[in-house]
Structure 1
Amino acid sequence: MNIYQRAKNLLLAPAKEWQSIDEEDVNSSHVLTYLLVLALIPAVAGFIGMGFIGLNVFGIHSGSIGWGFRHAISSYLGIVGGAYISAFVIDFLADKFQATSSFNVAFKVVAYSYTPMCVAGVFYLIPSLSFLVPLAGLYGLYILYTGMKPMLKVPEDKMMGYFIVCLLSIIVVSMVVGAIFGAIFINSVYF
């Protein structure tokens, strides 16, 4: 399956695509490649948008090549690092909800659920539209939800509780990773 087709199928028919993913015998390096390629979309778009176009707020223009570069690195590492840490947490919690405990499977579920947010990263090209990227992340939560049952084999009675705990942990991981990379790259004066 090529990256474009996988992303398209996940965005348009996630439940059907999860069935296909569940039947595949793909190792995590293929999934990592998928995530690394998709994470380039918000990183490159952010570099162009923040580095060359910038924002014009209250008549003050912000944006520079350095700012765009820091945004790109922070975005890229945040997506990849956040996916790994979230997959670790989801795998750790699997036993408590009688789900399949496998880091590779948890990583597939998390990495593929990042698809809408990564694809919507194209909106970083126009910084005033960047608010749409987190909104696309909400659709990613739906993709996560539809993927948990077939991939992690969550019992029906445990599904909602496991999803809520996974959702909260992904939010916390995203906030912590974002704060760390933001402090390192975005707020860096000497970069």
Structure 2
Amino acid sequence: MSFIDRAKNILLSPKDEWKKIDEEETTAGALFTGYAVILALIPVIGTLLAVALSIGAYRYLGFNYFLVTALAGYVIGLGILYLMGIIANALAPSFDGEKSDTSAMKLVVYSATPGWIAGFFNFIPGIGFLISLIGFGYSAYLLYLGSQATVKVPENKAVGYTAVTIIIWIVLSIIVTAVIIGAIVSAFIGTAALTGAAAYR
């Protein structure tokens, strides 16, 4: 199945698609190379499009800044996604689910689909934020459904499992992104200061 068909099916008919996903033989490597690394590029494309069109704040900062931060966010996001697969697997028994490295990785990778697609529109003032919220909400819903199909969390505990997983995902993303993107911003500010100082010599 192509990544386009999988994305379409997980968005439009998630209950049926999760059953198919659960029955598939795959590996973490295949999930990333054949799906995650492709879909995760969508927000990057949206950011670079905004820079090219000089929309909003994107017109005031240099192309290199947004290119570096977009690519850094891309790599960070994939790293966190992999880590969340490990965490989701470790959490499953606490909610009467089953541990399975591959199943947990399926869960987090495919649940991230709406967030990636919504990320394309982040650059649009107002509307972009609303679309991102919708994407986040739908990703949480997919995680709720998928937890029952993949790691076999009972329905009555799926909400708790989903909530804990999402909270950890958010906190981890905020901390890691803040540290790394902050370092990139500092580097750009430092470079700009050195360039400005050199210009006045």
TM-score grouping bracket, smaller chain normalisation: 0.7 to 0.9
Q: 1:90 aligns with which of 88, 91, 106?
A: 88
Alignment of 1:105-144 (within 5 A): 105-124=103-122, 126-128=123-125, 129-131=127-129, 132-144=131-143
Q: 1:68 to 1:52 in 2, by over 3 A?
A: farther
Corresponding residue of 2:176: 177
| Structure 1 Cα separation of the partners of residues 157 and 146 of structure 2 | 14
Amino acid aligned to 2:78: V
Match of 2:195 in 1: none
User: 1:49–1:68: 8 Å Cα contact kept in structure 2?
Assistant: no
Secondary structure in 2 matching 1:45: helix
Partner of 2:72: 74
Cα distance, 1:52 vs structure 2: 5.0
Q: Within 2, Cα distance between the matches of 1:32 and 1:154?
A: 24
1:91 corresponds to which letter in structure 2?
Answer: N
The residue that corresponds to 1:145 in the other structure is: 144
Choose from 79, 102, 112 the match for 2:100.
102
Please give the TM-score of this superposition, normalised by the length of structure 1: 0.87
User: What is residue 23 of structure 2 aligned with on the other side?
Assistant: 23
Question: What is the correspondence of 1:4-43 to structure 2 with a 5 Å cutoff?
Answer: 4-33=4-33, 34-43=35-44
Relative to structure 1, is the Cα distance of residues 56 and 47 closer, same or farther in structure 2, using a 3 angstrom cutoff? closer
Identity of aligned residues (%): 31
Q: CA deviation at 1:121?
A: 2.4
Bigger shift: residues 136-145 or 177-186: 177-186
Give 3-state SS (helix, strand or coil) of 2:187's partner: coil
Q: Deviations over 1:125-181 (max 9, x none)?
A: x44243223431221111111100010111234322222211211121221222123
The number of aligned residues is 187
CA distance in 1 between partners of 2:29 and 2:55 (Å): 35
- Matched-pair contact (CA < 8 Å) for 1:28–1:104: yes
User: Cα–Cα, structure 1 residues 187 and 121, in superposed 2: closer, same or farther, change >3 Å?
Assistant: farther
RMSD between superposed Cα atoms in Å: 2.2
Q: Report the Cα distance in structure 1 between the residues aligned to 2:112 and 2:183, rounded to whole angstroms.
A: 23
**Higher gyration radius (CA):** 2
Which has the larger displacement, 98-107 or 7-16?
98-107
CA distance in 2, matches of 1:144, 1:7: 14
Question: For 2:110 and 2:186, how far apart are their aligned partners in 1?
Answer: 30
Matched, 1:55 2:56: yes
Q: Name the SS of the counterpart of 2:120 in structure 1.
A: helix
Gaps of 5+ in 1: none
Residue 48 of structure 1: how far off its partner (Å): 2.7
